[in-house]
Structure 1
Amino acid sequence: MSFLRGKSGAITVGLIGYLFFVELVSGILQGYYIPLIPDLVQHLGIRDADFNWFEAAQLLLSAIVVPILAKLGDMHGHKRILLISTVLTAGATWWLAFTGDFTSFLIAWALQGFYVVWLPLEVALIFDRGRTTGMGASQTRRAAGFLVVALEAGAIMGALGGGRIFKAFGENVQQTLMIPAIAVTIVFFVILFGVPESKPLPGRTLDFWGFVLLTIGLLLITSGLTFLRINGPGAWWVYLVMLAGVATFIPWGRYELRQKDPAIDLRMLRDPSMWPIQLTAGLVGISLLGAQAPLATFAGTDPINGYGLGMESDEISYIIGAYLVSMIVGALLFPILSKWKSPRVALIVATFFVAAGYLMFLPFHTTVLSVFLNMSIAGLGSGALVGALPAAAAAAAPRGQTGIATALTNTTKTIGGSFASAIFAIVLLAGAASAVTETASSLFGYLTVFTICGAGALVAAVLLFLVPKLAFADVVDDFEELQPTETSDETSDEASNEASNEATVAD
């Protein structure tokens, strides 16, 4: 591990270790409640379908608050906002443990979504620490890879531990839900005592009305997509809601271009190193956030329908586990490929892996082995992109904009996932009439879902070809070590030019 040590403002192993624990808990939060859903439904006295509102509320909140909190991090320090978001997450998680009615649980579940801002803030803080060394980009890529390892490992621990802890506590819901609350509380003290503060630029202002218009637009779009998934394509009014959200961005964009310190710097987003990254996040969000439920139901479908693996829930968990493990491997391999070739090439390769994994479902979907292989290939690319996209956004952003740039990758990913969830629900529902069993969809519906996931990743790969070849590289590049330390001026100039030429053709 080559994180810098003993240098002021450097990215240290200790810093990554503390943030590793933070993301481990973040992953636990994402996996812990999944095996408990049937018991939570019974605990709250609701129907299975009502649980969709919890996911929708949390996605809505994260899409809205992440850009605002990230901007505040750029203004006042990323650690400070990281602590505030942790307090809010801890409070909501404790609330979940002590509430027993639908409304309170819905509000608490939504507020728990403040943890979604942790990874963007951490990446921004890490890049800010490494900026002064001239190697912030590569160090951030490595650090982000380790954070994704923690995130996915935590998700595995949470998914495996939630049900077991519930049984160990005699199926006591309140005691079971106190465990993640304790973990988030510990996170607060880990950040408080272990994580240094970043150095924000002085004289910043919060563009209040810019964020108000942005919030209205995001709220209309994401809520419209949620209602589309719940009410189906026949609810004509949801299209008006989404159209109103899109229309909001016209006056918002004009307003932002007139501001000295806008909520989101649209000129920054026009940079050829930035806009493909943000669009890639949205396109990859289609599979990252939208395809998990269809994959699980596909594996569990009775083969009497002409497709499906007929797997039980515990067997499906093995496939999900393989996917998460492959994401860990992808996250670790990405910085290695970036150093060997270039960050741009590594991003393109990762998106092609995602595309290949999902498109392979079209001919190969009839055996457990083929589904394992497809998801593992997609997982390699997805794991690389989860940490690589915010790291690339941070490297492409000007100083003072790293937080908002990394957060926007999360927001666009959320919108992409919400869009996919709505479309996939409609596609699978439309094919249900042709299925043999009551709850199944059609094979054509699932193949359509996999095609959309693969096509979205292919479009992202094409967009990344438009990124400048040496984007996201260090100020001090990896070829510096090739230059001799003691030489004549003429020889030194030749070596420098030669190293520069090698860097240029490295792609």
Structure 2
Amino acid sequence: MPTRGASVGAITFSLVGFLFLVELTSGILQGFYVPLIPDLVDHLGIKDGDFNWFEAAQLLLSAIVVPIFAKLGDMFGHKRMLLITTALTAGATWWLATTTTFTTFLLAWALQAFYVVWLPLEVALIFDRGRRTGRGASQTRRSAGFLVVALEVGAIVGALGASRVLAAFGGDIMLTLFVPAVVVSLVFFAILFGVPESEPLPGRRLDGIGFLLLSVGLVVIMVGLGWIRLDSSAAGVLATVGLIVIGLGVLVGFGVWELRHPDPAIDLRVMRQPTMWPVLVTAGLFGISVLGAQAPLATYAGTDPSVGYGLGLDTDARSNLIGVYLVSMIVGALAFAAVSRRLAPRFSLILATAFVALGYLLFLPFHLETWQVVANMAIAGIGSGALVAALPAAAAAAAPRGQTGVASGMTNTTKTIGGAFASAIFGVVLVTGASEVAGTVAPLAGYLTVWAICGGGALVAMVLLFFVPKLAFADVEPETPAEPGTAAELSSAA
């Protein structure tokens, strides 16, 4: 048995090394295009506001593909799905580099969203390798922290490198866009030759109707949230509410179907367990700040202080501010595994949400000086980095065998939905009253509302995590090899 455990541990170390490269690539993709947005706008011959369509399309597709490919990973192998989504991402990234029209760029940008599946699949792979040692939960937490470090380092490298690559190529945007395409293509081979496959349970089947209902419900809700960003009039609000109600109705039908299905797309009985539902709700509330609050922060930092608030920072200074936030996320991701070894994993999650809440609530009294904003973002970033690593790892530890991928993926899906809701709401509150201040400058009350919602959401998540059993997400006794269970047994496993 020791030899077996050592072998599994050695494989896990090797596995994390190759997956580090995957998340480094994911970070590069997320950071590389941001400094190039003005150049991409000129390249495509569009308006600045049109770029929001790219973000909306990618969010929409990511909300759909994560649970589907996570489930397919549980069924057919997580490495296999990691290879497929990497190939799709590479194809979309090459397409981005060669297209010159708004429509084709929009399609390619949306298809690039397949990279969001990588982290849930990686967490499932790591947990699968460590499950039989009895240290799967702690190994997954520690490894997820390193993966988040890779993600944030990649984002920094991408953001800092994009403008330099553009300058090196003499301002040729097409040649510049070839760089991330090459990087994604290379990481495909790192996965192919360096990552071992997980052990899926045989006898599973894909719940096509369930995924169809889930996809339709999510699409309708996301379209509704996007609609209000286009039309914030009374008619637009009514249309948004109507679409959201219809989408929720479809999701109710999805829930009824899933509870009757022998091998559901998403086992709601597992998702409603006390070790799981607070984690999923926390992920949704966390999405409010980690996905929805970054654009308001950038606009506030660039607002001229002559209106009575704002920092008046130029582009380089705003980049440095974002850099502080990313570095603090790295610190939080590394600290989480160390803290959870000394404290209960559940308490570590609670502590992380407390950091996020404190960071954003401090904005309410302290927001007029640059050092105050930097301090607030550093505090929130530490908690955010811990949560990015902790949430999928906690979901994987709470899921029965055969459902680690979909459980980890659901934290990403709920986070995306939370971010979409926040983006829509923040867009409205920052526009309302703008003309009363100065032209298109957002009102201070709007920013205060954004920070209050982010901090309040984190406080609610912190309270909900107290409902999780005290010993949740801790290591369990090593598993002995067993015959694969039936779908019904999987659904009832704790």
TM-score, with structure 2 as normaliser: 0.94
Report the counterpart of residue 265 of structure 1 in structure 2: 267
Q: Which amino acid letter does the alignment assign opposite residue 148 of structure 1?
A: V
Residues 281-321 of structure 1 show CA distances to partners (whole Å, capped at 9, x for unaligned) of 00000000000000000011000110001000110011100
Does 2:109 match 1:105?
A: no
Alignment root-mean-square deviation, CA? 1.1
Q: Which amino acid letter does the alignment assign opposite residue 387 of structure 1?
A: A
Q: Which amino acid letter does the alignment assign opposite residue 457 of structure 2?
A: G
CA contact (8 A) 2:12 2:130 kept: no
Q: Alignment partner of 1:132: what SS?
A: helix
> Structure 1: which 5+ residue stretches go unaligned?
478-507
Shift of 1:113: 0.4
Superposition pairs of residues 6-155 of structure 1, within 5 angstroms: 6-8=6-8, 11-155=11-155
Report the counterpart of residue 252 of structure 1 in structure 2: 254
Separation in 1, partners of 2:345, 2:435: 46
Separation in 1, partners of 2:339, 2:6: 27
Give % identity: 67
Report the counterpart of residue 315 of structure 2 in structure 1: 313
Separation in 1, partners of 2:429, 2:233: 10
Superposition pairs of residues 271-282 of structure 1, within 5 angstroms: 271-282=273-284
1:243 to 242, 245, 251: 245
Separation in 2, partners of 1:233, 1:190: 50
Separation in 2, partners of 1:398, 1:34: 39
Shift of 1:251: 1.6
CA contact (8 A) 1:5 1:12 kept: no
Report the counterpart of residue 481 of structure 2 in structure 1: none
Does 2:329 match 1:323?
A: no
Does 2:208 match 1:211?
A: no
Shift of 1:15: 1.0
Report the counterpart of residue 172 of structure 2 in structure 1: 172
Q: Alignment partner of 1:448: what SS?
A: helix
Shift of 1:227: 1.4
Shift of 1:11: 4.9
Separation in 2, partners of 1:454, 1:220: 28
Q: Alignment partner of 1:365: what SS?
A: coil
Q: Which amino acid letter does the alignment assign opposite residue 230 of structure 1?
A: L
Report the counterpart of residue 488 of structure 2 in structure 1: none
Q: Alignment partner of 1:471: what SS?
A: coil
Report the counterpart of residue 483 of structure 2 in structure 1: none
Report the counterpart of residue 425 of structure 2 in structure 1: 423
Report the counterpart of residue 398 of structure 1 in structure 2: 400
CA contact (8 A) 2:5 2:133 kept: no
CA contact (8 A) 1:351 1:461 kept: yes
Shift of 1:440: 0.8
Separation in 2, partners of 1:433, 1:457: 31
Report the counterpart of residue 462 of structure 1 in structure 2: 463
Shift of 1:272: 0.1
Separation in 2, partners of 1:9, 1:323: 33
CA contact (8 A) 1:294 1:446 kept: yes
Separation in 1, partners of 2:18, 2:197: 13
Q: Alignment partner of 1:459: what SS?
A: helix
Q: Alignment partner of 2:180: what SS?
A: helix
CA contact (8 A) 2:224 2:243 kept: yes
> Structure 2: which 5+ residue stretches go unaligned?
479-494
Residues 52-76 of structure 1 show CA distances to partners (whole Å, capped at 9, x for unaligned) of 0000000000001110000000000
Q: Alignment partner of 1:246: what SS?
A: helix
Separation in 2, partners of 1:158, 1:310: 25
Report the counterpart of residue 453 of structure 1 in structure 2: 454
Separation in 1, partners of 2:122, 2:229: 32
Separation in 2, partners of 1:267, 1:230: 38
CA contact (8 A) 1:10 1:129 kept: no
CA contact (8 A) 1:83 1:192 kept: yes
Report the counterpart of residue 440 of structure 1 in structure 2: 441
Q: Which amino acid letter does the alignment assign opposite residue 187 of structure 2?
A: V
Residues 156-185 of structure 1 show CA distances to partners (whole Å, capped at 9, x for unaligned) of 001101111111100101100000000000
Report the counterpart of residue 298 of structure 1 in structure 2: 300
Q: State the structure with more CA Rg.
A: 1
TM-score, with structure 1 as normaliser: 0.92
Residues 382-434 of structure 1 show CA distances to partners (whole Å, capped at 9, x for unaligned) of 00000100000000000000000000000000000000000000000003022
CA contact (8 A) 2:394 2:473 kept: yes
Separation in 1, partners of 2:318, 2:358: 21
Shift of 1:265: 0.2
Shift of 1:5: 7.7
Residues 327-376 of structure 1 show CA distances to partners (whole Å, capped at 9, x for unaligned) of 00000000111111110000000000000000000110011100000000
Residues 173-220 of structure 1 show CA distances to partners (whole Å, capped at 9, x for unaligned) of 110000000000011000000000000001000000000000000001
Report the counterpart of residue 355 of structure 2 in structure 1: 353
Q: Which moved more, 1:244-253 or 1:405-414?
A: 244-253
CA contact (8 A) 2:165 2:176 kept: yes
